[in-house]
Amino acid sequence: MIRVPLISALLLAALLSACDRSGGFPAPTGSERLSSAERIARDFLVTQEVLTNFQGVDERLRTECKRAGGSGAICSSYRISLINQGEAIRPGEGDWAIYFHSIRRSLRLLNRDDFTLEHIKGDLHRLTPTEAFTGIAEGETLAFDLLAEYWMQSESDFMPRLFVVDGAGKAHVIASTDSDSIEGLALPITSHHPENWKRTADDANTLATPASRYAAFSTRQPDGGESWRTRIIPRPQLLEVTGEPVRLRTGIAVDAGPLESRSLHAFRQRLEQLGLAPSGPGAYPVRVDIEPEAFREKVAGAYTLQTKARGARIIGRDQAGAFYGLQSLLALVDLRSQTLARVRVEDAPRFPHRGFSLDVGRNFHSKAVVLKLLDQMAAYKLNRFHFHLSDDEGWRLEIPGLSELTEVGARRCFDPGETRCLLPQLGSGPKSDNSGSGFFTVEDYIHIVRYAAARHIEVIPEFDMPAHARAAVVAMEARYRKLADESAQRAAEYRLIDPQDDTQYLSVQFYDDSYINPCIDSTYHFIGKLIREVQAMHRAAGAPLASWHFGGDEALNILAGNGFEDAPGSDPDKGDVASVKRQMPWSESPACQKLVPKGEVEDLGQLGAFFAKRVSRLVAEAGIPTLAAWSDGVKHIENAGEMLATKRNYANAWTPLFWGGGAESVRLADAGFGVVQSHADFLYFDMPYELDPKESGYYWASRSTDTRKAFSYAPLNTAQLAEISTDRDGRGWSAMSPAPEFEKSVQGIQGQLWSEVVRTDAQVEYMLFPRLLALAERAWHRAEWELPLAEGQNFSARTAAVDKASLDADWNGFAAALGNRELLKLDLSGIAYRIPVPGVVVEDGALKTALPYPGLPLEYFDGERWRELETSVSADAVWAVRARSADGRRTGRAAILRALPAANAQR
């Protein structure tokens, strides 16, 4: 037992915050007859903190890591503290155990022998008191020091909703942790060591501070003039300013006879959203025509636009072009002055695939946020919505005839047998109403597809397999058990495992039962059923299913007894690869072993290609022209045109560029795939905006991906990015350009949001915006600073081929339009975008501030309350500075200049 008579000021502030989140904890009374588990759930406060984040500073940690089997002997340590604010918990007072979530596999309990530690499934772990447990008195702290695989560099690594399970098997969430927020639950990463924000002792990154932000923002100040009024996002091919802006007195009236009624309705909804719907006879008139013959080049989505004093005219090459012309018209509106820029525009998209992928499998996100996302995709001319509808932690679409997929696979609760639901994961806790539970009905999905089609967006459904498929596996096992006594044949019809497969593995996400078996016919019965049912939904929506994405992500990243991120180009000497023998997936499956002598596969290493080929036949037989996968899923396909049955095939190339992602893209192109550039270090929007442990996000690919970094992405010549970016450790990397022919294989680019630490719809919006606008810019417009491909050209931090001044100027124009005009439109659309943390310095007694884009009001904290920041304020009076949203209704995270009084900082 660790006794803590005095609590530090830092811990006290965290505990007070935890009390605020939970509404306070009533003092127990003697008349209450609650079980020990119920009292723990009610009375215990919890904090979590990193102790040591890399083995270089603690030789004992390295030794313990090797002994516990940590991958590559890389481990960190952290502490879970449970502070008893109620009556004593006595030894032998009923059976109970504490369950907690950890994205890192916790290997060993370092500081006590009165509890046992067990890894249950995925991120779920359990602490159980032994006979040596002597109880915990009122006011005492139960501290668990844990050894964890790899490192913990962000406060968002810590998950909420710890829970206690009593002797009867009933789960009780610890009230102080029952929130999607981790404020007060996660203590600062640097509490125990000033360099715990680093991954290794020689990490070369720069921690975000008020001063470092100021240095970054102030060196690239957006254009202070008026050019932002004519800057369309995404930038068109040609724009000429033809006169002074036009005053919009009573909104905009559209005459769009040729435009499909559903698209016209969508546009009018957008006018209403922005307060630009016609409100009187003086509304600004806009005429829309569709004239394919007016365009020399046959590019889908091309349009022209001219805004004049007395009206505007849009000519689209097709329906999409006419719709995009209307979006550009709205982009020219300054809502504050109610003016419209007068310009002439000729425009067409650079890529046919301008996509975004949303993961609703790890954590569920509502139809409402999906529709909001589709609205913004349309506003900025993105046209592919990649819908990640299943993963290990959840199945999210109702499939007629397979009710278990949503009855079991879409719910999380505490059911050890998983007959009713999946086990809690990712901070969801055991309650039925949690971030991990939910699904889209058939009607919901039809509505989403129809809504997207009206905005010229194709919905691409993805059901990830054969890996990342635990929700489906568990659900179909529940179906099998339900039907086994009734009909063995019917029960096995959609079963996804070989019951005789004894392969031992642990997936990247620490599951040992998450893989669909590719060697059994029932797997393909299941996939065929999915295709038919989803295809019927698309038909009902009036938008035929054009693409099927089977996932294929991380299908071979399995280790015997260890899970890790299989990084191309990783360095074993740095511990990036586990020092254990790889085990072949399905190696003990009799069904798979039979395929080799039959000649269906040369060896079990070809099962990935075998699976892709069989899925392609099902997709082709359904009349769906396009098959898609993550690059992992087709890595063994050498010639897509010969090996796959589908007419068109593309792959998302996701590997970080500093790990060889550019070479991966070229390999896919050489194998005959269309390439959709999706590189994680630039286009994964679950990465944090900046290197600050308080900034939410995963960080295995990038410690910081702000809007400017996404803007600087060069989708054709990704090698040039080695000149202007670093790897995840802040170090330079190098790359070589492919031959010019590679450009023909690139179908487009796609941004991604994975949801492991994104539990709420508000967090979705925070992570996506405003980065989504930078994605749209690069998907639509080829910038002057993007270099042509010259085979064999080398790039690194030492080369100087990129015109950085041109890049800065381009960013400045984009940032000015974003800050002065577009953020207010996001506000009016109900988008809770990330408000940037200001850069702040004091020089010669004067307070200086900077933001990455203009137009946002600033305020400062004077020690008692927040006030509007004025140029005359004395630097001595400023404790912290923060920005507000463009509409002034929300505040961002503050830049702290000196420690805030805990009681006053919340005002």
pLDDT digits (tens, 9 = 90+) for 504-562: 888 889 999 999 999 999 999 999 999 999 999 999 999 999 999 999 998 765 433 33
Which residue is associated with the tokens 């417009």? 781
Confidence of residue 71 (pLDDT cuts 50, 70, 90): low
Beta bridge partners of 45: 83
* 346 is a catalytic site residue: no
Contacts 24+ apart (CB under 8 A), 490-498: 492/522, 493/522, 493/525, 494/402, 494/522, 494/525, 494/526, 494/529, 495/520, 495/522, 496/469, 496/472, 496/520, 496/522, 496/523, 496/526, 497/473, 498/586, 498/589, 498/590, 498/591, 498/592
Confidence of residue 571 (pLDDT cuts 50, 70, 90): very low
Confidence (pLDDT) at 629: 98
User: Of all helices (H) and strands (E), which one includes residue 648?
Assistant: strand 648-653
Residue 773 CB partners (closer than 8 Å, separation 6+) = 233, 234, 380, 707, 818, 822
Q: Do the beta carbons of residue 259 and residue 287 sit within 8 Å?
A: no
Angle in degrees, 0-180, between the axes of helices 367-379 and 771-780, rounded to the nearest 10: 40
Beta bridge partners of 261: none
Mean pLDDT, to the nearest integer, of 188-198?
93
Question: Smallest Cα–Cα separation from 135: which of 175, 71, 91?
Answer: 91
Confidence (pLDDT) at 3: 33
Confidence (pLDDT) at 54: 80
Mean pLDDT, to the nearest integer, of 388-409?
98
Query: What is the rounded average pLDDT for all residues in the chain?
Result: 91
Q: Which residue has the higher pLDDT, 18 or 752?
A: 752
Q: Does the pLDDT value for residue 607 go beyond 60?
A: yes
Retrieve residue 817's tokens. 């339009």
Confidence (pLDDT) at 901: 64
- For the chain, report the end-to-end CA distance as a whole number of angstroms: 38
Question: Smallest Cα–Cα separation from 612: which of 467, 750, 510?
Answer: 467
Question: Smallest Cα–Cα separation from 158: which of 65, 54, 78?
Answer: 78
Neighbours of 368 (CB within 10 A): 10
CA separation for the pair 316, 291 (Å, rounded)? 6
Q: Does the pLDDT value for residue 150 go beyond 60?
A: yes
Mean pLDDT, to the nearest integer, of 38-46?
97
Q: Are strands 353-359 and 384-388 parallel, antiparallel or unpaired?
A: parallel
- Which domains are seen in the chain, by residue range? 36-177 (2.60.40.290), 238-347 (3.30.379.10), 353-558+594-802 (3.20.20.80), 839-896 (2.60.40.10)
47-61, 738-752, 763-777: the lowest-pLDDT one: 47-61
CA separation for the pair 456, 302 (Å, rounded)? 13
573-577, 651-655, 860-864: the lowest-pLDDT one: 573-577
Which residue is associated with the tokens 């033809």? 242
Which tens digits make up the pLDDT trace of 840-887? 999 988 999 999 999 999 999 999 999 999 888 999 999 999 999 999
Q: Which residue has the higher pLDDT, 68 or 27?
A: 68
CA separation for the pair 570, 661 (Å, rounded)? 12
303: helix, strand or coil: strand
Retrieve residue 160's tokens. 């909420």
Confidence (pLDDT) at 569: 36
CA separation for the pair 459, 903 (Å, rounded)? 48
Q: Does the pLDDT value for residue 581 go beyond 70?
A: no
Pick the catalytic residue: 458, 554, 664, 690? 554
Confidence (pLDDT) at 578: 36
Residue 183 Cα distances to 80, 89, 210, 692, angstroms: 15, 27, 21, 15
Which tens digits make up the pLDDT trace of 791-848? 999 999 999 999 999 999 999 999 999 999 999 999 999 999 999 999 999 998 899 9
Q: Does the pLDDT value for residue 187 go beyond 80?
A: yes
Q: Does the pLDDT value for residue 69 go beyond 90?
A: no
CA separation for the pair 137, 275 (Å, rounded)? 61
Confidence (pLDDT) at 161: 97
Q: Tell me the percentage of the chain whose pLDDT exceeds 70.
A: 92
Q: What φ, ψ does residue 117 adopt, rounded to 5°? A: -110, 135
Confidence (pLDDT) at 570: 37
Confidence (pLDDT) at 501: 95
Confidence (pLDDT) at 13: 43
Angle in degrees, 0-180, between the axes of helices 367-379 and 261-273, rounded to the nearest 10: 100
The one-letter amino acid at 568: P
